[in-house]
Chains A and B, each alone.
Chain A
């Protein structure tokens, strides 16, 4: 073996060089890693393209905000929890009306009896609406308020004034308005611009239905302890209407952006889209609001006439914001986004998870930041709450079916509509409450005690209606439907 003057063999020198090279490479890799972490913390995003009020394509925004956009894209994935969603590989989610036949009978006379499926993610909101079999019946342009990135179209309809354009939109058919939207190049599902100011990225609300609705809520007298800036506005000069974009705090905005759509509303062709919040946010408040409204033709408000009984029915949409408002999370200052879009860490920076989904699929970020117990424990608590709600809901459904059976029987025996007035009014009340909780997308979790209260009333009204229908011959003798004497507190301490 050849030796250097210093006595090192070639092999030893080579071995040391290799070791030093590997060590140097490792230290350099560490240096670069430290550099990356430091850069992430310093610069959360890089504005590469300009986005404006008319940039409805989320892919454009995604160039500037890849982290948020990547998670937004995942709303196309199918997810399933025990009581919600769609985890199958089939093209469309399962039919709810086939799984729960009482839902189908409850909706007879309304397009939801044709097609009513489990939900899919935000990415599908427009295409699912275009493809639903409900479109075989004429639908109003109002639906696009929440199923598309609609603001440029509202501005066009209103010659630059979005609010004016919105006021007109209910008169158009869904098909015409949707075609116009696609022609303008804005045929996108909910997009970045709907909740973010393109210049500052600040959260903002855009939807006219919400802006009018929250103004009416502020001007009303209902207690809203979970919305402190509404209380503050009420105590102020009231010179200008409550403006969520100016008056609301950051926590409220993290719920308001969702409340632009995840709410109860009227959405048909007799009047503009209406959020019914003037009397407050509980099921009873909203029922009163609808009962006090008459259409232009003098008829009292209803969504459809029940095809079997003829009752004038109130259809509940999906009052997530309203039910959440009655619960302990709202009362404790927890916003929609805290659980449905929790912060996620990306290297050394943080961003809201834009894969909006059930917190049950994301327990460590959604729940465990506050609830310091194991994931299993959290899941089992939620499951208990939802199971109880589900059981009550099924009982309410059974009671409503018995009411409808009794009405059918009375009709066969020759009862007139007049003799059944009370039974049909009770059907309206029972069905409103049942649907309020059935259509709400949390299986009671957003406010468990309030949900149980509403379902308890639903079953009670359904049974009272059943008694009224069974005793139609003595219709004058049936006591008027009993209601609780005391107004119900707007926030349940559950």
Chain B
């Protein structure tokens, strides 16, 4: 058993791994381009409806769905990226897709990031009481129009 053989095996692994990463457009996930979010097609209705929504001109996906500070942003990207790729590969996620609590908190923060001057008398951000009404409770259509969705497989 030679170390040469081992080196070849590891090389093959790294090669296939690198190709898979490129083929799956892994680098694109480092960008802010909304089209990246429809790479895997599940988000197509969300993407389509965002294009018709009132916020289309002023915000892309990451403006509302990721924290604005560098570290927080990449932690959230990694966390969501792991969940999304696991779900899409294993095809075992809840449908219709619904936002989960940590992401809902990020969303609320981002509403305030732009609209704070208008809203500071009404809400105090995610550090407020847990049952505080969130912006999208009423303004549900601003990001994605009326409704979007796509049922899951059998």
Residues of A within 8 A of B (CB): 4, 6, 8, 10, 13-14, 16-17, 20-21, 23-24, 27-28, 30-31, 33-35, 37, 41, 71, 342-350, 353, 362, 364-366, 368-370, 372
Contacts and interface: CB of A to CB of B under 8 A. Distances in A.
Nearest to A41: B41
A37 B150 contact: no
Contacts of B3: 4, 6, 8, 13
Given A8-B3, A368-B96, A34 B17 contact: no
A9 B40 CA distance: 44
20 contacts: A21-B9, A27-B17, A27-B20, A30-B20, A31-B19, A34-B20, A34-B23, A34-B24, A35-B23, A37-B41, A342-B151, A344-B151, A345-B95, A345-B150, A347-B91, A347-B153, A348-B41, A365-B151, A369-B96, A370-B149
B110 to A, nearest CB: 20
Given A346-B153, A348-B41, A372-B98, 16 more contacts: A4-B1, A10-B1, A30-B20, A30-B89, A35-B23, A37-B40, A37-B41, A343-B151, A344-B150, A344-B151, A345-B150, A345-B151, A349-B41, A353-B151, A364-B95, A370-B147
A344 B152 contact: yes
Contacts of A17: 1, 5-6, 9
Contacts of B16: 24, 27-28, 31
Interface of B: 1-3, 5-6, 9-10, 12-13, 16-17, 19-20, 23-24, 40-42, 88-89, 91, 95-96, 98, 140, 147-154
A364 B20 contact: no
A344 B96 contact: no
A370 B6 CA distance: 55
Contacts of B153: 344-347
Contacts of B19: 31
Contacts of B13: 20, 23-24, 27
Nearest to A28: B16
B96 A364 contact: yes
Chain B CB count within 10 A is highest, among A14, A345, A347, A348, for A345
B86 to A, nearest CB: 11
Contacts of A21: 9
Nearest to A371: B147
Contact of A369 (B1, B140, B149): B149
A143 B40 CA distance: 47
A471 to B, nearest CB: 56
A20 B9 contact: yes
Contacts of B152: 344-345, 364-365
Contacts of A353: 151
Chain A CB count within 10 A is highest, among B10, B12, B40, B154, for B154
Contacts of A366: 151
A16 B6 contact: yes
A366 B3 CA distance: 59
A298 B152 CA distance: 56
A37 B88 contact: yes
Nearest to B41: A348
B23 A31 contact: yes
Nearest to A34: B24
A2 B10 CA distance: 23
B91 A350 contact: no
A345 B40 CA distance: 12
A19 to B, nearest CB: 10
A178 B65 CA distance: 60
Contacts of A362: 151
B41 to A, nearest CB: 4
A35 B25 CA distance: 12
A415 B89 CA distance: 78
A461 B89 CA distance: 62
Contacts of A24: 9, 12-13, 16
Given A33-B89, A37-B40, A347-B91, A13 B6 contact: yes
Chain B CB count within 10 A is highest, among A14, A27, A31, A353, for A27
A349 B152 CA distance: 10
A365 B17 CA distance: 36
Contacts of A41: 41
A365 B95 CA distance: 8
Nearest to B10: A20
Nearest to B5: A17
Contacts of B88: 37
6 closest A-B pairs by beta carbon, nearest first, are: A365-B151, A369-B149, A348-B41, A31-B20, A13-B1, A24-B13
